[in-house]
C-alpha cells in the first residue's frame, strides 16, 4: 500500500514570514552527542572569539558590571555569552585575589559541556583554571579554578556552607528565563546576599520577554532617579537562521495523526533536511513512530529516492536508543525524530530543518488544596512555541509547522508558569529555613507561590518534626532533613531508620527510589523481570547510596539491619510517608485519609493485580486517566496512629481521621 497523500493544509501568515527575528530563542548549545573539538591554533581561537556577536559588546558589558550590581543580558542564541562573558571578566581582573567567577546552568550536561568547551578554548586542562561542580562530580580546584560552571541547585547547596558566597566575585545565572525551581530559589537568595555584599556582581542571562521583570526585581534604587539604578540591561543579538512558521488552516482534531501526515507531507514536498516532531509523552511518541515506520516500509517498496529513518526520543528511553538520534545519516536518508519536550531545551540535535509542533506539553501541576502533584497535558506558551520553532534554525534556514491555527496561537499564554508556582513547596521551605530565612512568607520570590501551597508545606514539615510550633527549624531533625538531597519525607524516613533498626535496608530503598524510569520499557518491548534494573541504573543507585550513607554517618545514624523482618522496614517507611496514606474503598479503589480523594494503585506497582491491602502509604500520585499512587506500600492502620499521633487520631468505629496540624 502506498502512503496516503497528506491532507494537512498549512498557511504562512502575513506577507512577511514571522522569521527568526521575532522568533528568537535563547538556549545553551547543550548536546548529548560526542563533543568534538577542532585543533585550533592560538591565533585562530582569538579570531573565532572576535567573530562572536557578543564580542563587540565586550567593553560595554565590563562597564555595566563595574557600575551596576546586577546586569541583565538578553543574549540570543548563538551570541557566545556563556563562554565569552566569563572570559571578559577574567581578563578584566574579576578573578584576582583568589576570587571565582561562577556560571550556573539549570542542567548538569550543560554545566559539563560548556566547561569542556571553555577549557578547550583556553587550552587548559579541565578542572584547573576552568572547572565545573555538579552533584557527584566536582571537577574544580579550590585554589586554581577561576571560572566555575555549576548547576543552580549546586549553588543553593553551596550557600549552606558559605551563606554569603564569599569566594565568588561575579555570578552569572544562565538560562534564567527557564525559571526552574532552583534558578528561582537562587535568584531570591542572591538578592538578599547582594544587600549584604555590595561587591558581589550578578549577571542574569535571560530572554527578551522576562528582561524587564528581572530588572525591576533586582533594581534596589527607590529614589526614582535612574542615575542611581543598581540594575542595567543589555541586548546581544544572536546568530541563528530564519525559520518560516506555518499554521494549519483549521483546528486539528487529532494531533497524533496530524503529526504523521505532516511528516509525510514534508517528505513528499520538501528538500533535504531532518524533521523534529514534538509530542507530550512516551505513548504518543511510540505510536507516531510505529505509524511512520509502517509508512516508511511502504515507501521503501515503491523505491522513493529518499528513505525515512524514524527515531523516538524521550527521557525514559534506554541510553543506547537515545544516542541514535545524534547519529549522522547518509544523504539518501531523512531522519525523523519524534520527541517529548526533552528536545525543547535539554538536548540539541544537529541537522534539524523542519519542526512539527503539536502545541501541547505534559507539565507537573500541584494542587495546594489536596497536596497532590500530578502530570497534566497542557497547552504550551508562546515562549515555548518559539523555542520549538527555533530548533529548526540552528544550521540553516528552516520551517516550523504548527498543528494549530494562528488564532489559537494568539490565545496561548506568553510564558509557562514558573515551577515555583506549580510544585510542592515542602523541600523549598525546608531549604530556605536552613539558609536562615525565618519568615518564608516574606521571602522575595520573583514569582510568589500560592499561599495555600506555603501552608501545606509548613503543615507537612511540622508533622514530620522538621519545624516546631513556631515554624522554626528543629535542631537537630530539621537541620538534618535539610541536608539530605531528597524530599523531606525521604529524609525523615532515613533519619528514623536507625531507631527502627533497618538503616541499611532503608538507605538502599531510598537510593533506588531516586532513580527514575528503572523499569521503564517501551510498550513494544518485553518487560524485564521485576526487581532487576539494568546495569546503568545499578551504578547510579550505588552512587546515590554512597552519598546518603555519608550523610547517615555524619548524623551518627546507627548502621542496623532488619535481618529479614519486613514489618520493621514498613513501619520505618510509615514514619516518613504517613501523610500519604490511603484506605481501601468498597468500590475497590482507594481514598486518601486526608480528604477522601479517590486513588488507584499504579499498574507498575507490584501490588497491582494482587489482593488489595486495606491500608497503604505511597510516594507520589500521577494523574493520567485516573489518579494513580506510585511506590505503594501495604501498612497497618495502627502504625499510622502510633507513628504519627500528631497527624492522625483514632476515630469511632476503628476508623482513622486526619487532624489539622497547625503552624504559627
Partner DNA sequence: GAGCACTGC
CA 629, 363, 284: angle at the middle one, nearest 5? 85
SS3 656: strand
**Chain residues 492-521 in contact with DNA, contact rule CB under 7 A:** 514, 516-517, 520-521
Interface with DNA (CB under 7 A), residue from 53, 163, 316, 613: 316
8 Å CB contact between 192 and 185:
no
Query: Applying CB under 7 A, which part among 33-41, 530-538, 583-591, 622-630 lies near DNA?
Result: 622-630
Among 6, 543, 589, 604, which residue interacts with DNA (rule: CB under 7 A)?
Answer: 604
- CA–CA gap between residue 468 and residue 461 (Å, rounded): 9
Q: Would you tell me how many other CB atoms lie within 10 Å of the CB of residue 617?
A: 24
Residue of 421, 356, 69, 28 whose CA lies nearest to 232? 69
| Contact flag: residue 102 with DNA (CB under 7 A) | no
Cα–Cα distance, 179 to 420 (Å, whole number): 8
Shortest distance, CB of residue 415 to DNA, whole angstroms? 15
Nearest distance in Å: CB 626, DNA: 6
What is the separation, in whole angstroms, between the first and last Cα of the chain? Answer: 70
Task: Write the CA distances from 457 to 343, 579, 661, integer angstroms.
Answer: 32, 12, 11
Name every residue whose Cβ is closer than 8 Å to that of residue 276 and which is 6 or more positions away in sequence.
Answer: 336, 337, 339, 343, 349, 352, 354, 355, 356, 391, 392
CB of residue 100 vs DNA: minimum separation in angstroms?
17
Is the CB of 299 or the CB of 380 nearer to DNA? 380
Among 75, 78, 153, 466, binds DNA (CB under 7 A): 153
The region of 118-126, 176-184, 216-224, 580-588 touching DNA under the rule CB under 7 A is 176-184
The C-alpha cell that represents 39 in the structure block: 585543533
> Is the CB of 338 or the CB of 463 nearer to DNA?
338
Binding of DNA at residue 256 (CB under 7 A)?
no
- By CB under 7 A, is residue 622 in contact with DNA? yes
Report if residue 149 touches DNA, rule: CB under 7 A.
no
Among 247, 255, 314, 618, binds DNA (CB under 7 A): 314
203: nearest Cα among 83, 64, 100, 72: 72
User: What number of CA atoms fall less than 13 Å from residue 58's CA on the CB side?
Assistant: 16
Q: Is 562 in the site for DNA (CB under 7 A)?
A: no
Q: 307 or 630, CB closer to DNA? A: 630
Measured from the CB atom, the residue of 485 and 612 that comes closer to DNA is 485
Site string for DNA, 273-312 (x = CB under 7 A): -------xxxx-----------------------------
Q: Using the rule CB under 7 A, give the single segment among 200-208, 242-250, 293-301, 339-347 that binds DNA.
A: 339-347
* 624 near DNA, rule: CB under 7 A: yes
Q: Are 201 and 171 in contact (CB under 8 A)?
A: yes
Least CB distance to DNA at residue 108 (A): 3
Q: Is 590 in the site for DNA (CB under 7 A)?
A: no
The grid coordinates listed for 15 are 506577507
Check residue 363 for interaction with DNA (CB under 7 A).
yes
589 touching DNA, by CB under 7 A = no
- Distance from C-alpha of 70 to C-alpha of 204, rounded to nearest angstrom: 7
Q: Give the residue with the Cβ less far from DNA, 335 or 602.
A: 602
Residue 602 interacting with DNA (CB under 7 A): yes
Cis peptide before 476 (omega within 30 of 0): yes
Q: Is 305 in contact with 299 (CB distance < 8 Å)?
A: no
Among 548, 565, 566, 546, which Cα is nearest to 557's? 548
Closest separation in Å from C-beta 353 to DNA: 23
The least distance separating DNA from the CB of residue 309, rounded to whole angstroms, comes to: 20
With a CB cutoff of 8 Å and minimum separation 6, the contacts of 652 are none
Q: How far apart (Å, rounded) are the C-alpha atoms in residues 127 and 147?
A: 10
Q: Which is nearer to DNA, 11 or 555 (by Cβ)? A: 555
List the interface residues with DNA, window 192-231 (CB under 7 A). Answer: none
Q: Which stretch binds DNA (CB under 7 A): 244-252, 464-472, 501-509, 600-608?
A: 600-608
CB of 470 to DNA, least distance (A): 25
| Near DNA by CB under 7 A: residue from 362, 504, 537, 597 | 362
Question: How many chain residues interact with DNA (CB under 7 A)?
Answer: 50
Q: How far is the CB of 355 from DNA (least distance, A)?
A: 17
Specify whether the CB–CB gap between 104 and 172 falls below 8 A: yes
Query: Which of 56, 436, 438, 608 touches DNA by CB under 7 A?
Result: 608
How far is it, in rounded angstroms, from Cα 643 to Cα 466?
15
Is 485 a residue that touches DNA (CB under 7 A)?
Answer: yes
Set of cell numbers at residue 201: 556582581
C-beta closer to DNA: residue 246 or 314 = 314
Sole binder of DNA in the list 195, 306, 411, 527 (CB under 7 A): 527
What is the closest distance, in whole angstroms, from the C-beta atom of residue 370 to DNA in the complex? Answer: 17
- Judge contact between 570 and 495, C-beta under 8 A: no
Spell out the SS3 assignment of 75-132: ECCCCCHHHHHHHHHHHCCCCCCCCEEEEEECCHHHHHHHHHHHHHHCCCCCCCCEEE
The contact set with DNA (CB under 7 A) reads 106-109, 134-135, 151, 153-154, 157, 180-182, 280-283, 314-316, 340-342, 346, 361-364, 375, 427, 485-487, 514, 516-517, 520-521, 523, 527, 602-604, 608-609, 622, 624-626, 628
Amino acid at each position: 500500500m502506498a502512503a496516503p497523500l497528506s491532507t494537512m493544509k498549512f498557511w504562512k501568515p502575513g506577507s512577511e514570514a514571522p522569521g527568526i527575528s521575532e522568533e528568537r530563542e535563547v538556549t545553551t548549545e547543550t548536546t548529548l552527542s560526542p563533543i568534538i573539538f577542532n585543533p585550533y591554533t592560538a591565533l585562530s581561537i582569538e579570531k573565532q572569539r572576535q567573530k562572536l556577536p557578543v564580542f563587540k559588546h565586550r567593553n560595554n558589558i565590563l562597564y555595566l558590571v563595574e557600575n551596576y550590581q546586577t546586569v541583565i543580558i538578553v543574549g540570543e542564541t548563538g551570541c557566545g555569552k556563556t563562554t565569552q562573558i566569563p572570559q571578559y571578566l577574567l581578563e578584566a581582573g574579576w578573578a584576582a585575589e583568589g576570587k571565582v567567577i561562577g556560571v550556573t546552568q539549570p542542567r548538569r550536561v550543560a554545566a559539563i559541556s560548556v566547561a569542556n568547551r571553555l577549557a578547550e578554548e583556553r587550552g587548559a586542562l579541565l578542572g584547573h583554571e576552568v572547572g565545573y561542580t555538579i552533584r557527584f562530580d566536582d571537577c574544580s580546584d579550590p585554589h586554581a579554578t577561576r571560572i566555575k560552571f555549576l548547576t543552580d541547585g549546586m549553588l543553593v547547596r553551596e550557600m549552606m556552607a558559605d551563606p554569603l558566597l564569599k569566594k565568588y566575585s561575579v555570578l552569572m545565572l544562565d538560562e534564567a528565563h527557564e525559571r526552574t525551581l532552583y534558578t528561582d530559589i537562587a535568584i531570591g537568595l542572591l538578592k538578599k546576599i547582594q544587600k549584604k555584599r555590595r561587591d558581589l556582581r550578578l549577571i542574569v542571562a535571560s530572554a527578551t520577554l522576562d528582561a524587564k521583570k528581572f530588572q525591576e526585581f533586582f533594581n534596589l534604587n527607590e529614589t526614582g532617579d535612574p542615575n542611581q539604578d543598581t540594575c542595567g540591561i543589555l541586548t546581544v543579538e544572536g546568530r541563528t537562521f530564519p525559520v518560516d512558521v506555518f499554521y494549519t488552516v483549521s483546528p486539528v482534531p487529532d494531533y497524533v495523526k496530524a503529526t504523521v501526515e505532516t511528516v509525510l507531507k514534508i517528505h513528499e514536498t520538501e528538500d533535504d533536511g531532518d524533521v523534529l516532531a514534538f509530542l507530550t509523552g512516551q505513548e504518543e511518541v511510540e505510536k507516531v513512530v510505529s505509524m511512520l515506520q509502517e509508512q516508511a516500509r511502504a515507501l521503501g517498496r515503491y523505491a522513493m529516492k529518499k528513505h525515512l529513518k524514524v527515531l523516538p526520543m524521550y527521557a525514559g528511553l534506554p541510553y543506547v536508543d537515545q544516542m541514535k538520534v545524534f547519529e549522522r545519516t547518509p544523504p539518501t536518508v531523512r531522519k525523523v525524530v519524534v520527541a517529548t519536550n526533552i528536545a525543547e531545551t535539554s538536548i540539541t540535535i544537529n541537522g534539524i530543518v523542519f519542526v512539527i509542533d503539536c502545541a501541547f506539553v505534559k507539565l507537573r501541576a500541584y494542587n495546594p488544596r489536596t497536596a497532590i502533584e500530578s502530570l497534566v497535558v497542557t497547552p504550551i506558551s508562546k515562549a515555548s512555541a518559539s523555542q520549538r520553532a527555533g530548533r529548526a534554525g540552528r544550521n540553516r534556514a528552516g520551517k516550523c509547522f504548527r498543528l494549530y491555527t494562528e488564532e489559537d496561537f494568539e490565545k496561548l499564554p506568553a510564558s509557562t508558569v514558573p515551577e515555583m508556582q506549580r510544585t510542592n513547596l515542602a523541600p523549598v521551605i525546608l531549604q530556605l529555613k536552613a539558609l536562615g530565612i525565618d519568615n518564608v512568607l516574606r521571602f522575595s520570590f520573583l514569582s510568589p507561590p500560592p499561599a495555600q501551597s506555603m501552608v501545606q508545606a509548613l503543615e507537612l514539615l511540622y508533622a514530620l518534626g522538621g519545624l516546631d510550633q513556631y515554624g522554626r527549624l528543629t535542631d537537630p531533625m530539621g537541620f538534618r532533613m535539610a541536608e539530605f538531597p531528597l524530599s523531606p519525607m525521604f529524609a525523615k524516613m532515613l533519619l528514623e531508620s536507625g531507631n527502627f533498626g533497618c538503616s541499611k535496608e532503608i538507605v538502599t530503598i531510598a537510593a533506588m527510589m531516586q532513580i527514575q524510569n528503572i523499569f521503564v520499557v517501551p510498550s513494544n518491548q518485553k518487560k524485564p523481570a521485576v526487581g532487576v534494573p539494568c546495569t546503568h541504573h545499578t551504578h547510579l543507585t550505588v552512587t546515590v547510596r554512597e552519598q546518603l550513607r555519608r550523610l547517615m554517618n555524619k548524623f551518627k545514624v546507627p548502621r542496623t539491619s532488619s535481618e529479614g523482618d519486613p514489618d520493621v522496614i514498613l513501619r520505618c517507611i510509615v514514619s516518613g510517608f504517613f501523610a500519604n496514606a490511603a484506605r481501601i474503598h468498597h468500590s475497590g479503589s482507594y481514598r486518601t485519609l486526608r480528604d477522601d480523594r479517590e486513588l488507584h494503585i499504579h499498574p507498575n506497582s507490584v501490588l497491582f493485580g494482587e489482593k488489595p491491602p486495606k491500608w497503604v502509604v505511597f510516594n507520589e500520585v500521577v494523574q493520567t486517566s485516573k489518579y494513580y499512587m506510585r511506590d505503594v506500600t501495604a501498612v497497618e492502620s495502627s502504625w499510622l496512629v502510633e507513628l504519627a499521633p500528631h497527624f492522625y487520631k483514632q476515630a469511632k468505629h476503628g476508623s482513622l481521621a486526619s487532624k489539622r496540624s497547625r503552624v504559627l
